Structure 1
Amino acid sequence: MIDDISGIVAQKILDAGIIRSEDHDIYYYGLQLVVSTIIKVFGLIFIAVLFKKVIEAVIFLTVFGFMRINAGGLHLDTYMKCFIATAASMMLIIWAGSSIPSYLSFYIISVALAISFLLIIRYAPVDNPNRTLSKREHGIYRKRSIYAITIQIIIIVTAYFINIKLYRYCSIASLSVLFESLTLLPLASRCRQE
């Protein structure tokens, strides 16, 4: 479905003379990303609505997505596998973050963010199997990954200290960052290749 929609739209903009024929594949790939992202986000929000966890899902999607765009990570070979893995991970993280008692939240948040920072420093960015980063792009995304994790740490810690009642949301955010950081590990890529 995603391929069909992307192919039709790419062909229509080619036929309309908006793009050159040699750029067709680039636009087709870009459209695949846009269409799959829209479908995935709506699907994940739909699941969150069913479970009455919309705010938590938005936190997960924002934090995870912000790191993912900059750092990369494990990619599965089909859109459906990616959707199922993301949905399961989102619900697990929401459940885990919501289950942390307030007296442990500071320690969990601190450890999750510290491990995430170290993993980002060590492994980010990770190439996408569909597009390898050039040396220059690798440097750019490395800096962006470090900025992204730093910004997220500042926001999560600040929110926690401004209002301790936000600890569940901060826990979900920190676990979301940790989850994305774990997808950078070489072990994650090896598991996919086997």
Structure 2
Amino acid sequence: MLKKVSNWVVKVLLKGGLLSPEDYEIYLYGVETALLQSIHILTMLVVGFCLDAKLETLTFIVFYSIIRIYAGGFHATTKLCCYFISWIMISSAILIVKLLPISIMPTFSIGIYSLSLIIVFVLSPVGNKNKPLDLLEIHHYKTIVRKLLLAELFISVFVYFASVRIFCVISISLAFVALMLILGTVQNSKSHKPSVSITFFHNKPAD
């Protein structure tokens, strides 16, 4: 279904003279990726609204996606699997924040944030076989991730004193990025083709 819609969009743009026919496959991949990412975001927003956690959901999406785009990590083998991973992540994040006693939330949040920060700092970027990068690109994305982590750290300090609950969401989002990097590393080792690639929820450098 997604591919059919992507095909239709690209063909309409081609007929309108907005795209070059020679780069059809590139445009098709780009449109399909954009649609998939939109579905992921929409799903997360719906889940957040249903659980009455609008601010928490928006916080998770922003902080998770910004790092994930450049850090990469686990690559789902199917779009359906990718979709369910996004659904599970946001649901888990919101439920943890809602159910975790406020008395232990600061300790919990600082603990997982610190551990996740180290993992993401050391492992990123982790990619997949779809779009490998050369050494210069790896260095480039590593530098971006570390700068983003530094910026996020400063923001998180202020957020912690303003709202421990929102800081907890940021910590969980970083924990999921770390988890995706670990799973991505394992995935690459099993395929015997370690690589770094590029997307959003599932890969850029390395859905």
User: For the superposition of Structure 1 and Structure 2, which TM-score range results when normalised by the shorter chain?
Assistant: 0.7 to 0.9
Number of paired residues? 190
Going from structure 1 to structure 2, the CA distance change for 1:146 and 1:107 (only over 3 Å counts) comes to: same
Whether the 8 Å contact between 2:116 and 2:178 is mirrored in structure 1 is yes
Give the helix-richer structure, 1 or 2. Answer: 1
Going from structure 1 to structure 2, the CA distance change for 1:117 and 1:41 (only over 3 Å counts) comes to: same
With normalisation by structure 2, the TM-score equals: 0.83
Partner amino acid, structure 2, of 1:172: V
* Structure 1 unaligned blocks of 5 or more: none
Identity percentage over the alignment?
22
CA distance in 2, matches of 1:26, 1:134: 20
Going from structure 1 to structure 2, the CA distance change for 1:53 and 1:188 (only over 3 Å counts) comes to: farther
CA distance in 2, matches of 1:178, 1:187: 17
Give the structure 2 partner of residue 102 of structure 1.
102
Deviation at 1:192, TM superposition (A): 9.2
Partner amino acid, structure 1, of 2:33: L
Give the structure 1 partner of residue 170 of structure 2.
173
CA distance in 2, matches of 1:95, 1:133: 37
* Structure 2 unaligned blocks of 5 or more: 193-207
CA distance in 1, matches of 2:29, 2:113: 33
Kindly indicate whether residue 180 of structure 2 is the aligned counterpart of residue 183 of structure 1. yes
Whether the 8 Å contact between 2:93 and 2:172 is mirrored in structure 1 is yes
Going from structure 1 to structure 2, the CA distance change for 1:54 and 1:152 (only over 3 Å counts) comes to: same
Deviations 1:22-52 (A, max 9, x none): 3111111111111111122112211222222
Deviation at 1:92, TM superposition (A): 1.0
Deviation at 1:20, TM superposition (A): 2.4
Going from structure 1 to structure 2, the CA distance change for 1:55 and 1:66 (only over 3 Å counts) comes to: same
Kindly indicate whether residue 124 of structure 2 is the aligned counterpart of residue 124 of structure 1. yes
Segment drifting more, 48-57 vs 14-23: 14-23
With normalisation by structure 1, the TM-score equals: 0.88
CA distance in 1, matches of 2:12, 2:130: 24
Segment drifting more, 128-137 vs 26-35: 128-137
Kindly indicate whether residue 21 of structure 2 is the aligned counterpart of residue 24 of structure 1. no
Deviation at 1:61, TM superposition (A): 1.1
Deviation at 1:68, TM superposition (A): 0.9
CA distance in 2, matches of 1:188, 1:112: 23
Deviation at 1:55, TM superposition (A): 1.8
Kindly indicate whether residue 138 of structure 2 is the aligned counterpart of residue 141 of structure 1. no
Deviations 1:161-181 (A, max 9, x none): 2x2xx1111111101111111
Q: Which has the higher contact order (CA 8 A, sep 6+)?
A: 2
CA distance in 2, matches of 1:141, 1:93: 26
Partner amino acid, structure 2, of 1:82: C
CA distance in 1, matches of 2:44, 2:191: 23
